Amino acid sequence: MFDKIKRFIKHPFILQFRDPRAIGVAVFGVIAVLVTWSGIKSIQSNYDLQKQISQLSQENQVKELENKNLDLQNQYLNTDQFLELSARKQFGLAAPGEKVLIVPKNVALAHTVDIADPNAVAPKKTVVQKPAYQRNFQAWMDFFLHRSTNN
């Protein structure tokens, strides 16, 4: 057992670590790795902080735009035009010299046009899709014969 330890200690690879120059190089290598690691960590933290700053500045710009929009809306709500329109709508008032006509609901609705509800779902048409090679051939024929595409 001791013989193995003595052979291990006298091995040329182990003997080179007794030299002060080798110890100095090893210490220098460890310090270089630590400095590099510290630099990488600081670069990563700077990158993360820069992302945060960018995100917060974008949120700030959005909030400023919302504030400007609200200011414009408040300015509109304070105008005489808005007051006149709201008085006409809510209270049925009219400007001086105007006559208010009351039209029965059934007469007013008789002269309207039905508009399709945009929220209603239209029935979907079932389309039989051709195989890929037929669609490809048809697309090339349309291209060469200058036809418009008919999906």
pLDDT at 103 over 60: yes
Model pLDDT for residues 57-73, shown as the tens digit of each residue = 999 999 999 999 999 99
Cα 72 from chain centre: 26
Contact between 101 and 107 (Cβ < 8 Å): no
Nearest to 65 by CA among 77, 73, 55: 73
* Banded model confidence at residue 84, pLDDT cuts 50, 70, 90: confident
Q: State the pLDDT confidence band at 150, using cuts at 50, 70 and 90.
A: low
In tens, the pLDDT along 13-40 reads 777 777 888 889 989 999 999 999 999 9
Whether the full predicted model's pTM is greater than 0.95, yes or no, is: no
